[in-house]
């Protein structure tokens, strides 16, 4: 039986998956355990708090647009998710370098928030995610959407892998599971700090 070296967090939109990833990253830093990767963050309008879109933010603080509300009447090209136009160039430029498996023999923890519909419009990203899951020295903490009417094939494949622990984040457990997930990924990666 394969050891469970990857953790996928799932749950309803807004339940706290990204916040949990950021918390686990903080805990890794406190233990002097390095990680690489990115998370996504809502971008809101200051005037009325309306959502303008999403940014991709690398763990070292670089930020760029992932998607923005498509402006009416403008000729903007690219994939759409609902009212959001996905900026594949910006996303790939920032996210792809952060999810390349380590070329050393050292264990590597990679945080990928999120493996979702917007991100998977990027074929290089989809391939990089698959490569990451096949890398023997890599331990992944990633977020995935809840399967709805049209499940995402790659996400369903990842959830079904024997080396994946799937955890549903809920309002009831989101504040109490960070340490448990930290223990899972540090144990799986062999990076437990003394």
Domain assignments of the chain as residue spans, ordered by start: 6-39+89-189
Q: Which helix (H) or strand (E) holds 126?
A: helix 123-134
> Residue for token digits 């930290």?
182
Helix/strand/coil for 98: helix
Could you tell me the two tokens for 90? 């910006």
* Four-way CATH pick for 6-39+89-189: 2.60.40.1180, 3.40.50.300, 3.20.20.60, 3.30.70.260: 3.40.50.300
Q: Stretch 139-162: mean pLDDT, rounded?
A: 93
pLDDT in tens, 165-184: 999 999 999 999 999 999 99
End-to-end CA distance of the chain: 28
Give per-residue pLDDT as tens, 44-65. 887 777 889 999 999 999 999 9
pTM over 0.95, yes/no: no
């Amino acid at each position: 039986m394969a050891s469970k070296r990857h953790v996928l967090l799932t749950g309803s939109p807004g339940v706290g998956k990204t916040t949990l990833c950021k918390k686990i990253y903080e805990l890794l830093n406190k233990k002097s355990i390095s990680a690489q990767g990115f998370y996504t963050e809502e971008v809101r309008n200051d005037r009325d708090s309306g959502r303008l879109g999403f940014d991709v933010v690398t763990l070292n603080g670089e930020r760029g647009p992932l998607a923005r509300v498509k402006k009416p009447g403008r000729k903007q090209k690219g994939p759409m998710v609902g009212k959001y136009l996905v900026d594949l160039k910006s996303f790939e430029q920032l996210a792809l370098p952060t999810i390349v498996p380590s070329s050393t023999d050292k264990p590597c923890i990679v945080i990928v928030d999120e493996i979702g519909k917007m991100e998977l419009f990027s074929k290089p990203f989809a391939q990089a995610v698959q490569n990451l899951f096949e890398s023997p020295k890599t331990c992944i903490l990633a977020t995935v959407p809840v399967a709805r009417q049209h499940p995402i094939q790659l996400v369903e494949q990842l959830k079904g892998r024997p080396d994946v622990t799937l955890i549903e984040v809920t309002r009831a457990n989101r504040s109490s599971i960070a340490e448990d997930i930290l223990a899972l990924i540090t144990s799986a990666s062999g990076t437990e700090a003394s």
